[in-house]
Structure 1
Amino acid sequence: MSREHGRAYHHGDLRRAVLAAALDVIAAEGPAALSLRDLARRAGVSHAAPGHHFKDRTGLLTAVAAEGYNLFADALTDAPDLRERGVAYVRFAAAHPAHFQVMFQPDLHRADDPDLLAARARATRALRAGVAGLRPDSRGEDDRLAGVAAWSLAHGFATLLLSGNLADAMEGRDPEAAFRTIGALIYAPEKTTTVDGGAP
């Protein structure tokens, strides 16, 4: 490894550089196209260097998923209610398509990785907090199943959007606005508020 590559490694830049290169490859070609040797070439380091941080391809994909779940949890937590959590879900998928592809394919990850488990738990708590804001008659008798229903709607919409299957149905509509319209048909929050204090 060259002296300047050694500096990048010791300064902690290599991990970020390899992750960034991996996200580019996944977004363009999918997770199956990942190769640590190719990522090392893209990052300008020796072929063995990525192994210092990720050990192998599965370790790298696990790190991508953990980072994705943390970003995802942040996006959900900032939303005020379940419908807006659904909008945040769609926004996250559109902004982070590579993370989104990897996060929900558990066969790509190390299931016992502590960083991944912690990040996934954060995202789960954020989704369940949104469900807690629904009226009891909207939640039904099982909060967890209500959460699955909300998750299914947002995840299905986001997946169809990213795969191009909604192109005809959307007819140029803004995806977030479209999802808000769909969510209004299903989600019934406990309370509604408005910015200007007028009627909802």
Structure 2
Amino acid sequence: MTTERAYHHGDLRRALLTAALDAIAQEGPDALSLRDLARRAGVSHAAPAHHFKDRTGLLTAVAAEGYALFADALAEAPDLRERGVAYVRFAARHPAHFQVMFRPELHRTDDTALLTAKARATDELRAGVDDLTDAARGEDARLAGIAAWSLAHGFATLLLTGNLDGPADGKDPAELFRSVAGFLFRPPTTPGSS
């Protein structure tokens, strides 16, 4: 009966990824096992290994999918601050992907699909910094990129771990991030101006 159910999923790979994302969202990536995943998806215990080989392969697929979705979200943002907003929204909408993407010890860092998706996301993040004026970016674009990434990633992480519940006071996280970013990424003032 289990074998019969396994062939009626339509897209078994997608069903397994969805079950994995649900499990990660509930219990974190460290608790994920292929046996539990098979149970959640209602398939034989061998089905996940057929599609992903092992747990690392599954988490690599989750990370690659996450980076692809992340790159798409960033590409829609018109400037650096809105890329930060897209970053925060992505984390809030895709917490399981987010938990896996930035933990390279969980996946195969040399996987082609992962490297391609990650490169697209990195290019989108860099494009936001490249769009800054020289005065706003400072002398070192790389450091400006690290500062912007640190702000967005730190904010998203604080949001996902519930650490902004009190300070956010029910405010929309995207709007709150815009305000926070505004404190740090203001156009420089010229001497003598107020």
Contact preservation (8 Å) 2:5, 2:42: no
SS for the counterpart of 2:43 is: coil
- Alignment pair present for 1:140 and 2:169: no
Amino acid of the structure 2 residue aligned with 1:135: T
How many pairs align?
Answer: 186
Correspondence 1:99-118 to 2 at 5 A: 99-118=97-116
SS for the counterpart of 1:76 is: helix
SS for the counterpart of 1:45 is: coil
Correspondence 1:28-107 to 2 at 5 A: 28-107=26-105
Contact preservation (8 Å) 1:65, 1:102: yes
Equivalent residue for 2:125? 127
Contact preservation (8 Å) 1:72, 1:92: yes
Task: Flag structure 2 segments of 5+ consecutive residues without an equivalent.
Answer: 188-194
Give the Cα–Cα distance (whole angstroms) in 2 for the partners of residues 107 and 4 of structure 1: 33
Give the Cα–Cα distance (whole angstroms) in 2 for the partners of residues 42 and 180 of structure 1: 38
Give the Cα–Cα distance (whole angstroms) in 1 for the partners of residues 166 and 6 of structure 2: 48
Give the alignment's Cα RMSD to 1 decimal.
1.3
- Alignment pair present for 1:156 and 2:157: no
Give the Cα–Cα distance (whole angstroms) in 1 for the partners of residues 81 and 58 of structure 2: 33
User: Deviations for 1:5-51, whole angstroms, at most 9, x for unmatched residues?
Assistant: 2243xx4x111111001101100100011110111111111101111
Deviation at 1:96, TM superposition (A): 0.4
TM-score, with structure 2 as normaliser: 0.92
Give the Cα–Cα distance (whole angstroms) in 1 for the partners of residues 110 and 131 of structure 2: 31
Contact preservation (8 Å) 1:134, 1:188: no
SS for the counterpart of 1:111 is: coil
The range that moved more, 38-47 or 116-125, is 38-47
TM-score, with structure 1 as normaliser: 0.89
Share of identical aligned residues, percent?
Answer: 71
Amino acid of the structure 1 residue aligned with 2:7: G
Contact preservation (8 Å) 1:135, 1:188: no
